[in-house]
């Protein structure tokens, strides 16, 4: 099996090799691009005429892509580059491509004939050059003239000789990622800006500042790409201006966002941020002033380059220190921020190191990766902040709803208790009198009508019970407050309720642990617990059981009454204790209302856990007597 598979793999490999051998790549092997790595240069002095190509004498110095000189010597305004281009007859349409060079005014000559000239009236000197050349059977001399007003000039990369089509693809492709990245980041910021209308004003500050951060970074990337200046040459000065504006926009908005992440906790940073904002505004004005007047470059240079660079460096260090400090304190957002800023700082530092190690010929690109990571981390932080806000809002509204609920309940209770107190008193007396007379009449009546009298008395008793419930509710009668032994009380209750449970074919068990002394009124406590147990019994099906237990827990006496009855839905549990809430045909819906009142008066709490068709557990907690004293109102 294995050997068969081995043979198959070999066949596939052989096939791939064959395909590769026949592929266009191989077929075109003869017109592979040629990379010219060595050339000669000659500086152009500020007084020298640059109209004529200098003689190829001993005054030229050799140079190359390995160590290209780019810093202009004192008193120079550019350089001549002399290239020896090998035969180009292989290509239908040959061309030259320089991926990177510094220079503003470029001209290419074949021997002494001008082929192309490109001039810039703005000072962005990061440039590229592509030029079509003639086919030739022999090696030909080419000259590139580079003039500039900046401090550097020269080729930074080798010169590529290839078919013009291949070169023009490469010309675009190399800088395309920059354009895409910059444009997407800027677009992202614009989308975010539109979305900001939907935000709460509390979040708008962070959001808006992040939009500005993204927008300015997108603009920085776009306006630092040579391709932008080549394709939009007529807007060159504007693009350069945009670069600076983006920088002055980026710094304050970035600081503002960071300060929000720090929750404005570091006063020093807040003050520094305000200063920096002021300084950026000043720079912006200075920039416009310089752009309009074109005077005092030195002043502009000091304020906008030297001081600003120092400030940015200081601020970066400050942010790293503070965010790491806050991250150590366990703040997740600060951890994210530290990671983002540190990666950004590291990438920018690495870029700078490469730049200086390569004698200023390296083209910075690592910082773009850092920027993407930074924006990502800022975005995640913002999302986290917003979702945290949303969570807070949600829990707050839930709390409000609960509070409303309990307020309504209290209100209802109050009305009922007032009504109950007045009505119950008035009705109880006539009922008692009626009952007395009924008994009297019953004693005198014949055997046939006696059951009717009994029925009437029973119904009167039921009415009296309801009224007693109402009275208890209106004023839980805890006048005689004593220390109660909860175990003993529960034992008595067990004895009272076992027969009723047995009638329903159910088993009632009870056990207690430890000393359980609470303060309260024995008969009211019984009333409260009996109401609960009665409900349990009424909820039971065949083979029902009720388990009662009592024990101490965290300084409380805890009673648990569990049954395996029909259970309740969540909405039903929420309605427990509301007057007249009952699911029974003969229920009054007053039992639990009274129970709640009594337990409340004894400073206890009651909680229902119930699952439909599974059963219910009621948990009642009372403070232990040793640890509690009853409030005065109960003694009144
Ligand atoms: P009543 O018993 O007169 O209906 P209660 O206030 O005692 O009034 O109880 C209100 C409602 O709560 C009952 O009708 C019943 O639906 C529900 N209930 C209370 N305890 C239980 C329980 N242990 N199991 C199932 N339902 C219960
Ligand atoms: Mg009941």
Choosing from 541, 582, 615 the residue with most ligand 1 atoms within 8 A of its CB, the one to mutate for a pocket test is: 582
> Is the confidence at residue 622, as pLDDT, over 50?
yes
| Cβ–ligand 1 contact at 125 (below 6 Å) | no
Residues 6+ apart with CB under 8 A from 21: none
Predicted local confidence at residue 488, as pLDDT:
93
Going by their DSSP bridges, the two strands 76-85 and 159-163 should be labelled as: unpaired
What DSSP element (H or E) covers 529?
A: helix 522-539
Of 185, 166, 303, nearest to 244 by C-alpha is 303
Q: Which has more pLDDT, 13 or 141?
A: 141
Distance from C-alpha of 115 to C-alpha of 109, rounded to nearest angstrom? 5
Query: Which residues fall within 8 angstroms of residue 116, CB to CB, at 6 or more apart?
Result: 106, 107, 108, 131
Atom of ligand 1 nearest to the CA of 565: 24
Pair 226, 176: CB distance under 8 Å:
no
Residue of 84, 89, 126 whose CA lies nearest to 104: 126
**Ligand 1, atom 11: nearest CA belongs to which residue?**
582
Distances (CA, A) of 146 to 39, 116, 130, 498, 608: 14, 12, 14, 109, 88
**What is the mean pLDDT of the segment spanning 303-311?**
82
Residue partners of 57: CB distance under 8 A and separation at least 6:
none
User: How far is ligand 1, taken at its centre, from the CA of residue 566, in Å?
Assistant: 10
| Choice among 269-283, 355-369, 518-532, 571-585 with the minimum mean pLDDT | 355-369
φ, ψ of residue 629 to 5 degrees: the values are -130, 140
Interval 589-617 mean pLDDT:
92
- Max intra-chain CA distance, the chain: 152
Cβ atoms of residues 245 and 287 within 8 Å: yes
Q: What phi and psi values does residue 276 have, to the nearest 5 degrees?
A: -60, -40
> What is the C-alpha to C-alpha distance for residues 464 and 470, in angstroms, rounded to an integer?
10
Per-residue pLDDT at 615: 95
Other beta carbons within 10 Å of 413: 20
Q: How far does CA 517 lie from the centroid of its chain? A: 52
| Closest atom, ligand 1, to C-alpha of 593 | 6
User: Closest Cα to residue 568, out of 599, 608, 541?
Assistant: 608
pTM: 0.61
Q: How many helices (H) and strands (E) does the chain have?
A: 18, 18
Residue 618: beta bridge partners? 561, 608
Q: What per-residue confidence (pLDDT) applies to 619?
A: 96
Q: What DSSP designation does 171 have?
A: H
- Lowest-confidence pick of 21-30, 94-103, 117-126, 598-607: 21-30
DSSP 3-state assignment of 16? helix
Would you state the structure tokens that stand for residue 66, as one six-digit string? 């390995």
Q: What is the C-alpha to C-alpha distance for residues 381 and 369, in angstroms, rounded to an integer?
A: 18
CB 403 within 8 A of CB 460: no
pLDDT at residue 8 greater than cutoff 70: no
Task: Kindly give the pairing relationship between strand 61-64 and strand 38-45.
Answer: antiparallel
Helices 236-261 & 308-328, crossing angle to 10 degrees?
Answer: 30
SS3 content of the chain, % helix, strand, coil (to 5): 60, 20, 25
Cα-to-centroid distance, 583 and ligand 2 (Å): 10
What percentage of the chain exceeds 90 in pLDDT? Answer: 38
- Please tell me which of 16-30, 70-84, 297-311 the model is most confident about, judged by mean pLDDT: 70-84
What's the rounded mean pLDDT across residues 157-181? 91
The predicted-structure confidence for 480-534, as pLDDT tens digits, reads as follows 788 999 999 999 999 889 988 999 999 999 999 988 999 998 888 988 999 999 9
Say if residue 142's pLDDT is above 90. yes
Distance of CA 539 to the CA centre of its chain: 48
pLDDT band at 15 (very low <50, low <70, confident <90, very high): low
Q: Residue 552: which of 492, 629, 625 has the closest Cα? A: 625
Ligand 1 pocket, mutate which of 497, 561, 592, 608 (most atoms under 8 A from CB): 592
Distance (Å, whole) CA 419 – CA 422: 5
Looking at the CA of 466, name the nearest ligand. Answer: 1
- Cα(479) to centroid(ligand 2), Å: 25
pLDDT at 359 over 80: no
Q: How many CA atoms lie within 13 A of 292 on its CB side?
A: 6
Residue with the smallest CA separation from ligand 1 atom 13 is 582
- Could you tell which of 466, 504, 533, 535 is best to mutate to test the pocket of ligand 1, judged by most ligand atoms within 8 Å of the CB? 535
At residue 152, the pLDDT reads 87
Q: Is the CB of 589 under 6 A from ligand 1?
A: yes
Are 93 and 163 a contacting pair, CB within 8 Å?
Answer: yes
pLDDT value at position 635?
42
- Ligand 1: does its nearest atom lie under 6 Å from the Cβ of 469? no
Q: How far is the CA of 558 from the centre of ligand 1 (A)?
A: 21
Residues 191-236 have pLDDT tens digits of: 988 888 887 777 788 888 989 999 999 999 999 888 899 889 899 9
Distance 636 CA to ligand 1 centre (A): 32
Question: Is residue 615 in contact with ligand 1, taking CB distance under 6 Å?
Answer: no
């Amino acid at each position: 099996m294995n050997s068969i598979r081995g043979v198959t793999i070999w066949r596939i490999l052989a096939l791939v090799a064959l395909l590769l051998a026949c592929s266009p790549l191989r077929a075109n092997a003869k017109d592979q691009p040629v990379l010219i790595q060595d050339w000669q240069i000659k500086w152009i002095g500020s007084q020298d005429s640059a109209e004529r190509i200098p003689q190829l004498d001993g005054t030229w110095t050799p140079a190359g892509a390995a160590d290209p000189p780019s810093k202009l010597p004192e008193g120079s305004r550019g350089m001549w580059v002399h290239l020896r281009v090998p035969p180009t007859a292989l290509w239908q349409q040959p061309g030259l491509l320089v991926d990177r060079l510094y220079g503003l005014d470029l001209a290419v000559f074949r021997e002494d004939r001008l082929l192309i000239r490109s001039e810039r009236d703005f000072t962005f000197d990061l440039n590229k050059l592509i030029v079509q050349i003639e086919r030739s059977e022999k090696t030909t001399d080419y000259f590139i003239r580079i003039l500039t007003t900046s401090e550097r000039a020269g080729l930074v990369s080798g010169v590529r000789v290839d078919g013009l089509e291949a070169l023009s693809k490469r010309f675009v492709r190399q800088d395309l990622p920059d354009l895409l990245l910059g444009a997407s980041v800027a677009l992202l910021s614009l989308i975010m800006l539109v979305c900001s209308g939907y935000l709460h004003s509390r979040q708008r500050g962070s959001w808006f500042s992040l939009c500005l951060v993204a927008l300015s970074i997108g603009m920085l990337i776009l306006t630092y790409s040579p391709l932008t200046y080549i394709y939009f040459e007529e807007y060159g000065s504007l693009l350069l201006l945009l670069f600076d504006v983006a920088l002055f926009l980026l710094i304050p908005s970035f600081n503002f966002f960071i300060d929000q992440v720090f929750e404005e906790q570091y006063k020093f940073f807040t003050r520094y941020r305000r200063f920096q904002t002021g300084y950026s505004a000043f720079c912006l004005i200075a920039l416009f002033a310089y752009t309009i007047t074109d005077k005092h470059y030195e002043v502009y240079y000091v304020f906008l380059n030297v001081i600003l660079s120092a400030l940015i460096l200081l601020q970066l260090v400050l942010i790293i220190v503070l965010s790491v400090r806050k991250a150590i304190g366990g703040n997740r957002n600060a951890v994210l921020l530290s990671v983002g800023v540190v990666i950004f700082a590291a990438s920018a530092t690495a870029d700078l190191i490469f730049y200086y190690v390569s004698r200023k010929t390296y083209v910075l690109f690592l910082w773009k990766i850092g920027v993407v990571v930074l924006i990502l981390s800022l975005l995640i932080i913002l999302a986290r902040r917003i979702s945290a806000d949303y969570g807070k809002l949600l829990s707050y509204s839930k709390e409000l709803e609960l509070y409303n609920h309990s307020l309504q309940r209290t209100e209802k209770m109050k009305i009922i208790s007032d009504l109950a107190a007045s009505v119950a008193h008035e009705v109880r007396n006539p009922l008692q009198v009626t009952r007395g007379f009924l008994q009297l009449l019953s004693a005198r009546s014949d055997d046939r009508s006696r059951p009717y009298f009994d029925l009437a008395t029973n119904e009167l008793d039921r009415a009296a019970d309801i009224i007693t419930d109402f009275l208890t509710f209106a004023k839980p009668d805890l006048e005689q407050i004593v220390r109660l032994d909860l175990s003993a009380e529960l034992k008595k209750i067990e004895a009272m309720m076992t027969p009723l449970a047995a009638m329903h074919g159910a088993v009632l068990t009870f056990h207690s642990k430890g000393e359980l002394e609470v303060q309260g009124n024995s008969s009211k406590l019984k009333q409260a617990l009996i109401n609960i147990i009665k409900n349990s019994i009424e909820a039971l099906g065949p083979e029902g059981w009720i388990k009662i237990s009592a024990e101490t827990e965290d300084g409380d006496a805890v009673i648990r009454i569990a049954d395996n009855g029909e259970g309740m839905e969540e909405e039903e549990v929420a309605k427990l204790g509301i007057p007249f809430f009952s699911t029974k045909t003969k229920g009054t819906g007053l039992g639990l209302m009274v129970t709640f009142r009594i337990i409340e008066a004894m400073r206890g709490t009651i909680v229902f856990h119930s699952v439909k068709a599974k059963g219910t557990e009621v948990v009642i907690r009372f403070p232990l007597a040793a640890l509690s004293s009853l409030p005065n109102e109960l003694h009144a």
